[in-house]
Amino acid sequence: MKKILFFLSLLSLPAMAQDQSISFSPERNQINGGRPLPSEAPFYIQGSLPVGIKRVELKIFKSKKNENLADSYSWKAAYGSDPQNYEVFVAYPLRSSENYTLRFYYYSQADSNEMAALQGALHANLESYVNANFIASKRGISALTNPKAMLTHLDQVVLQGMQNYTHPLEQEFQGFSDMVKIKIEQFQGVKLKGARFNLLSKNPDPDNEGQAQYTAQLKKELIDLLHAEVDQYLRANLLMLVDIRELENYPTEKKPFYLPLNLGYAGTYFSGGFNNLDYGTSAFAGISVPLGNKSFTRFLGNASVSTGVFFSNMQDSNQTEISGPLVGRPVYVGLGYRIFRILRFNAGTVLTSSDVNANIENITLYPFIGFSVEFNLWLGLDK
């Protein structure tokens, strides 16, 4: 018994395979020395860093799929360090014999001049949006869009303006605060009684100059609030995108096809209960068709549909020989699930036959359960 438990414990040990590491050269735009990418297993991508690069992002997606479905990975330099190499762990395995697009993004630390230019552009865009969306009339100040939509548009102005920048701590801009929303809603309550002008008019009525100044003051307060919240986010020097390297339609390595073979022992239930159980046992052999690839789905990757034949006929409690109608032996079909590395639990039905008399054969299905050891048989042709 101890030997059996020790054997099962060895089967349950995970494979101690080390993740593969490949290199990418941005100068030559070449990966893995021109060889196919590893498939069906995680791997590392290493590369040298151009001077000043502090962050590397990687997107991988199937060449015929939408980029929005890409798996994203990133690496960033430790604070205060100036490394010469980086390493990205590709955690989600690539499928065998598929083509992928790999896109590398390189970021450097934005200097004071670049940050000032970004700040100025964002300020100008926000101010232009506010000035274009508020109009004064005799009924008051009206907006071209409702406050909720306007707040969304202002957020997009900032996000689009910073699309080539990223925060060093990966803290994305969370949008403008409720203070901005309240300030926008204040415009709805402003009344300009007696006003006969439009802010877009080139000849406003001099009598309404005070009202025009009040409108301009409200807009300035909103613009100043927008600038202040943007400046708060820009206090940390952002990382600026400086280069993109792309490998399009790049192949992965082709994995060989293995046919799982099963050798095991099973018990077949004929009738009865616990006190008068009628059953038969026999060794069996068969093949399995996996329901999934275990590199991508653990449950379905360990499950399979199996079929095969029992090595010997069985006898029930009436000493009737239980055979099979096809090959003279019982044939089974069932589901299997791997519970250790090569040990599989099987359950299903057995197609059997037994002679009633010389001219009549009784065909019956019985349930069975069993355990088997699974081996992979490689199928392929040598080049």
Helices within the chain (DSSP H only): 2-12, 112-133, 147-161, 178-186, 209-233, 298-302
Query: What confidence tier does 6 reach under pLDDT thresholds 50, 70, 90?
Result: very low
CATH number assigned to the domain comprising residue 94? 2.60.40
Q: Are 283 and 200 within one domain? A: no
Q: Are 224 and 289 within one domain? A: no
Average pLDDT over residues 74-91: 93
Q: For position 122, what pLDDT does the model report?
A: 96
Length of the chain as a residue count: 383
The residue among 153, 155, 220, 212 whose CA lies nearest residue 183 is 220
Higher confidence at residue 144 or residue 122?
A: 122
Helices within 13-89 (DSSP H only): none
Alpha-carbon gap, residue 280 to 315, rounded angstroms: 6
**14 pLDDT above the threshold of 90:** no
| 164-215 pLDDT, tens digit each | 999 988 888 999 999 998 888 877 666 544 344 444 444 555 445 556 677 7
**383 pLDDT above the threshold of 50:** no
Q: For position 194, what pLDDT does the model report?
A: 39
Query: What confidence tier does 280 reach under pLDDT thresholds 50, 70, 90?
Result: very high
3-state secondary structure of 274: coil
Structural domain boundaries enclosing 42: 17-109+242-251
Q: Are 133 and 213 within one domain? A: yes
Q: Are 353 and 370 within one domain? A: yes
Alpha-carbon gap, residue 137 to 189, rounded angstroms: 13
Alpha-carbon gap, residue 272 to 261, rounded angstroms: 32
State how far Cα 73 lies from the chain centre.
11
Q: Are 105 and 129 within one domain? A: no
Indicate the number of domains in the chain: 3
How many CB atoms neighbour CB 233 within 10 A?
A: 16
Q: Are 231 and 304 within one domain? A: no
Q: For position 375, what pLDDT does the model report?
A: 83
- Parallel, antiparallel or unpaired: strands 20-25 and 43-48: parallel
Q: For position 296, what pLDDT does the model report?
A: 79
Q: Is 93 part of a structural domain of the chain?
A: yes
Q: Are 73 and 148 within one domain? A: no
Q: For position 358, what pLDDT does the model report?
A: 61
Decide: 192 and 213 in contact? Cβ < 8 Å.
Answer: no
